[in-house]
Chain A
Amino acid sequence: MTHPRISIRRAIRSEAVVSSATLVGFAVILLGGYGLWLGGTFLNTGDRVFDVYQNVSPLLLSIGIVVALSAGQFDLSAGSMATMSVFLTVGLTARQDLPLPLVLVVVLAVGVLGGLLNAFLVVGLRINAFIATLGTGAVFTGISELYSGGQTMTFTTNPAAARAALWFIGPSGFGSFQAKPPAVATWLVVAGVLWCAWSAARLHWIGVTHGRRRDLLLGAGALGLAGLLGVLGIPAQFNWTILVLLAAACLAWLMLAQTALGRAIYATGGNPVAARLAGIGVNRLMVLAFAVSGFFASLAGIVLTATQGTAVPGIADGFLLPAYAAAFLSTVIMSSGRFHIWGTVAGGLAVVWVAQGLVIGGLPFTWTDLINGAVLIIAVSLSTTLRRALVAR
């Protein structure tokens, strides 16, 4: 039996490519525009990788949020969960004298438990997710305040614990930008990211004729990209937390885009009734989505502890808005109306760089929130309009 197949030329005109072109266009405008305006002060790989380093936490938060959003659920407690995780990481180590590796496991487990609490309220008791997670968010903030007495908590109150935690918070530790991992580890993660990009592109062009030629072309593209990154010396600037972010993004993308589980999560978010009637365990998936969101929120808290070394009240609460901005940006870049991990990472960085460029150009840093808000609104309006246009077609 012959099936209609599409040629490479027709595939290039497809919607998937058009939406990837949105990203490329955006990057060209951003880098080109700022490059022309600010020159070397903006097009400086060290500084831009440092921007990434500073935003690993909100980006990790947004990865969890994207999983929840893909299942059709809002998790507004993620920021507070990250803050609570910072307090727990510092407090359990410095005040309770627990060994740091154990503390990290406990904090991640608390994140999952927090997600399960959200799931119990939303899926079990059928409370609106907005209200339920707003409520649990306040509870998490309250727990942080009760635990710390409303004060900043540091490792230094317990010198022995601080010494033992040097691998985590020290100047050459996990959270430091100066400490670079071995090249093998860095390139392993970069290879993972490039493999994801390669197989994502293959997936977009799955219908084209000449499958071998396509795979070779894309493979050459991925190797070329690796070479370019190497020449520019970008991976050499990555520290441990950036590797954690990239690895987490790879895993989350694999789960959402490449497994039956991810497909079922998107189905749940797309039309829960249809998904249930098609035999998908919708409630189970919503529970899973909240648990994943909680897990990533606590991971974001751990990374933030490693970079900051102290627990300040409300330290991660403000990450919620940029994380949601990134998630909603993913529906317009690299994807057609769907929440998407790489689009979220790219979108989050784009927002950061838009603001950073303006600050380098002389705008006071106090404008950052206004720019973030404006970008979020524009992204959401774009994604809504795009989705409506596509569904109507």
Chain B
Amino acid sequence: MTLRSAQEGQGRAPLLSLVNVTKSFDATQALRGVSLTIKAGEFVGLVGPNGAGKSTLIKILDGVYGPDGGTITAGRVGVVHQDLGLIDSLTVTENLRLGQPALCSVPPLLSAVRERDFCREALRAVGLRADLAHRSVERLSLGERTLVAIARTLARGAELIVVDEATSTLPPRESGWLIDTLKARRLAGAAVLMVSHKLAEILGCADRCVVLVDGKLIADEPIERVDLATLTRLMSRSSQQQAGPERACRVPAGSPLLSLAGASTALAGPFTLDVHAGEIVGVTGLVGSGLYELALLASGRTRPASGSVRTAAGVRVGLLPPDRSAQGSFPAESVAWNLTIGGLRRWRTRAGTLDHPAELGAARALAVELDVRPPNVSARMAALSGGNQQKVLLGRMLLAQSDAQAGCVVLCEPTRGVDIGARADIYRLIRQLADQGIGVLVVSSDTEDLLTLADRVGVVENQSCQRTWRPDELSTEQMASLL
């Protein structure tokens, strides 16, 4: 079957052809000359480590960005993003018709009959029951939602369906269902480009596999010629080159500062892990895998529904939230304000007012220590680059910590949206924290953070994480799931 469809593809005109496409953002070169051809009837898997340029490539295919160089010849491309882009409160019909010209028989009144026929057709194409048409999207399962999103791209006449991590949050039965549907569309003459972190899944369903590393396509092979070990080797080559200086791995000693035992929320868990003084524990997983629920549990921001989260006596757990703009910064306020907001009680005078000069002095000293640029703490937070804002948030957490007896911090996505220079600074700061005896839990979907920093590594899979490994203990499959 695989061979036949690939041969059928030979004679057809390509649906997509990229020649030497480049794209860069400021100093970062996201794509360095990518050439790729996809023909009708093909099912191509795209894999690569975090930061390899996969999202940039998809956004270029979707028309969000234009390329800096190279040529793109594309037929009708439909992209299904990881977040699907459906409006949960609307019905399936309304979502399918969103942004399309109105179907009317007596304009401007919408024709229920024509919309029903349209939806019946669109849902049949992805193997969904027609009676879902009037259900609101929030009442569908995750797999059904993904299929509705695919139905929408198909209904708009897409010949090439690009699916970004659509199976990452699905339970196995539903992702199998989704892949069968995609295979069926391929036989009907469409092509599929599927991006996935699950290498085994790509090996099981694609005809061809392309590997993107550091903005370059380093492999483009028929699926028969690659296996898990090859892909893992190809993908890890780059991250090892980028890794910072070695840090002696620490063996946990004494009783843990922070310990989760089977802790779970309504949505995620159970999680079991310990953080000791001076240790950096890294946990990774895909976005939506329950990673941030783990961070909120560990930092005490949410209470476990079952299991327990314990901290040693006198330990206060600091949290660096995953989403800097939505959960961390106050963009309209000054840098000093942002630094001190978590620990104001230190500057409270006897009269109850704040000792502003002392507060400002502490903020200045901290900004210098963190190397925040520009060093003017009266500047607005919004005027700082992402990396410097991240340093300010780290500083806020340290300030809030510094009157506790023993420290423990949970850092979510510490290097998200941060350029290379600031990334090195942040790694240095985190190591410094551990060297001071603070227990550090790094929760990051960027595996480079973990491979560079962590003494022990855990992976959140299917909303759960039960144990951690030393980096040298990891098996090929585990490395593969990390990348």
Q: Which residues of A contact B (CB under 8 A)?
A: 1, 3-4, 6, 14, 203, 206-207, 211, 254, 258-260, 263-264, 266-267, 270-271, 273-280, 337-338, 387, 390-393
Partner of B376, one of A4, A254, A267, A274: A4
B residues 301-354 in Cβ contact with A at 8 Å = 301, 319, 321, 326-333, 337, 341-342, 344-345, 347-348, 352-354
A273→B319 CA distance, assembly (Å) = 13
Q: Is the CB of A277 within 8 A of B327?
A: yes
B380 and A390 within 8 A (CB): yes
Residues in B neighbouring A206, C-beta threshold 8 A: 356-357, 360
Q: Mark B370-392, 1 if CB is under 8 A from A, else 0.
A: 00000110101011000000000
Give 24 CB contacts A-B under 8 Å. Answer: A258-B353, A258-B354, A259-B348, A259-B352, A259-B354, A260-B347, A260-B354, A263-B354, A264-B341, A266-B333, A270-B330, A270-B332, A271-B326, A271-B327, A271-B329, A276-B301, A277-B301, A277-B319, A278-B341, A278-B396, A280-B342, A337-B332, A390-B332, A391-B332
Q: Is the CB of B328 within 8 A of A274?
A: yes
List chain A residues, Cβ under 8 A from B364. Answer: 3-4
| A282 to B74 alpha-carbon distance, docked (Å) | 50
Distance in Å: Cβ of B253 to nearest Cβ of chain A: 29
Closest residue of B by beta carbon distance from A260: B344
Judged by a CB distance under 8 angstroms, whether B400 is at the interface is: yes
- Min CB distance, B50 to chain A, in Å? 24
Residue of A with least CB distance to B361: A3
Q: Known contacts A260-B345, A264-B344, A390-B380; decide if A274 and B330 are in contact (CB<8 Å).
A: yes
Tell me whether B218 is interfacial, beta carbon within 8 Å.
no
Contact residues in B for A337 (Cβ distance below 8 Å):
332
B365 within 8 A of A: yes
* Complex CA–CA separation, A222 to B382 (angstroms): 34
In the complex, residue of chain A having the shortest beta-carbon distance to the beta carbon of B299 = A277
Residues of B within 8 A of A260 (CB): 344-345, 347-348, 354
How long is the Cα–Cα vector from A278 to B392 in the complex, in angstroms? 13
Query: Which residue of A6, A203, A277, A390 is within 8 Å of B328 (Cβ)?
Result: A277
A263-B344 contact given A270-B332, A276-B301, CB 8 Å threshold:
yes
What CA separation (Å) do A207 and B364 show in the bound complex? 10
Output the least CB separation between B243 and chain A (Å): 30
B318 to chain A, nearest CB (A): 9
Bound form: Cα–Cα A390–B381 in Å: 10
> Is the Cβ of B321 less than 8 Å from the Cβ of A277?
yes
A259, B383: Cα distance in complex, Å: 26
B383–A393 CB distance below 8 A: yes
Interface SS, A side: helix
Q: Are A391 and B382 in contact (CB under 8 A)?
A: yes
Residue pair B329, A274 in contact (C-beta under 8 Å): yes
- Is B341 a contact partner of A391 (Cβ separation < 8 A)? no
Q: Which of A4, A259, A263, A273 contacts B327 (CB 8 A)?
A: A273
Q: Which of B328, B348, B354 has the most CB of A within 10 A?
A: B354
A-B contacts, CB under 8 A, total: 86
- In the assembled complex, B420 has its CB within 8 A of some CB on chain A: no
Known: A259-B353, A259-B354, A260-B347. 12 other contacts (CB 8 A): A1-B368, A3-B368, A4-B375, A206-B360, A264-B341, A270-B330, A273-B327, A274-B321, A337-B332, A338-B332, A391-B332, A391-B380
The answer on a CB contact under 8 Å between B360 and A207 is: yes
Which residues of chain B are within 8 angstroms of A6 by Cβ–Cβ distance? Answer: 376, 378
- The smallest C-beta distance from B434 to any residue of chain A, in angstroms, reads 22
Whether B341 and A392, one on each chain, are in contact in the complex, defined by CB atoms closer than 8 angstroms, is: no
Which of these, A1, A207, A211, contacts B378 with CB under 8 Å?
A: A207
CA distance A201 to B408 in the complex (A): 39
Compute how far the CA of A48 lies from the CA of B329 in the bound complex, rounded to whole angstroms: 43
Q: How far is the CB of B71 from chain A (nearest CB, A)?
A: 35
Known A-B contacts A206-B360, A270-B330, A273-B327; the reply to A280 vs B382 at CB < 8 A is no
Q: How far is the CB of A228 from chain B (nearest CB, A)?
A: 28
B354 close to A391 (CB less than 8 A) = no
Please name all residues of chain B whose beta carbon is closer than 8 Å to the beta carbon of A207 when the two chains form the complex.
360, 378
Q: How far is the CA of A213 from the CA of B9 in the complex (A)?
A: 82
**Distance from B328 Cβ to chain A, minimum over Cβ atoms (Å):** 5
- On chain A, the residues within 8 Å of B400 by CB distance are 278-279
Complex Cα–Cα for A1 and B361 (A): 11
A254 to B349, CA, bound (A): 13
CB contacts (< 8 Å) of A278 on chain B: these are 341-342, 396, 400
Task: Give every chain A residue within 8 A of B329 (Cβ-Cβ).
Answer: 271, 274
**Which parts of B409-446 form the interface with A (CB within 8 Å)?**
none
> Which of A270, A273, A280 interacts with B333 by CB under 8 Å?
A270
Complex formed: what's the CA distance from A277 to B333 in Å? 17
- Nearest to B383 among chain A residues (CB) is A393
Nearest Cβ on chain A to B128's Cβ, whole angstroms? 33
Contact B382 A392 (CB under 8 A): yes
Q: In the complex, what's the smallest C-beta–C-beta distance from A392 to chain B, in angstroms?
A: 7
Please give, as numbers and ranges, the residues of chain B lying within 8 Å of A254 by CB-CB distance.
353
- Which residue from chain A places its CB closest to the CB of B319 in the assembled complex? A277
Given contacts A4-B375, A206-B360, A393-B383, contact A267 B330 (CB under 8 A): yes
In the complex, A338 Cα to B376 Cα: how many Å? Answer: 21
CA–CA, A275 and B301, complex, Å: 12
Taking CB as reference atom, which chain A residue is nearest B322?
A: A277
Whole-angstrom distance between the alpha carbons of A267 and B332 in the complex?
A: 11
| Residue of B with least CB distance to A275 | B341
A residues near B352, Cβ cutoff 8 Å: 259
Residue of B nearest to A263 (CB): B344
The CA-CA distance from A337 to B361 in the complex, in Å, is 25
Closest B residue to A279 by CB, please name it.
Answer: B342
Known contacts being A254-B353, A274-B327, is A3 close to B365, with CB within 8 Å? yes
A120 to B368, CA, bound (A): 44
Bound-complex Cα distance A3 to B60 (A): 45
A335 to B360 alpha-carbon distance, docked (Å):
19
Note all chain B residues with C-beta closer than 8 A to A273.
Answer: 321, 326-327
Which residue, A203, A260, A275, A276, has most C-beta atoms of chain B within 10 A?
A: A260
Q: With a CB–CB cut-off of 8 A, which chain B residues contact A266?
A: 333
Residues of A within 8 A of B333 (CB): 266, 270
Q: Is the CB of A393 within 8 A of B330?
A: no
CB neighbours of B365 from chain A (8 A): 1, 3
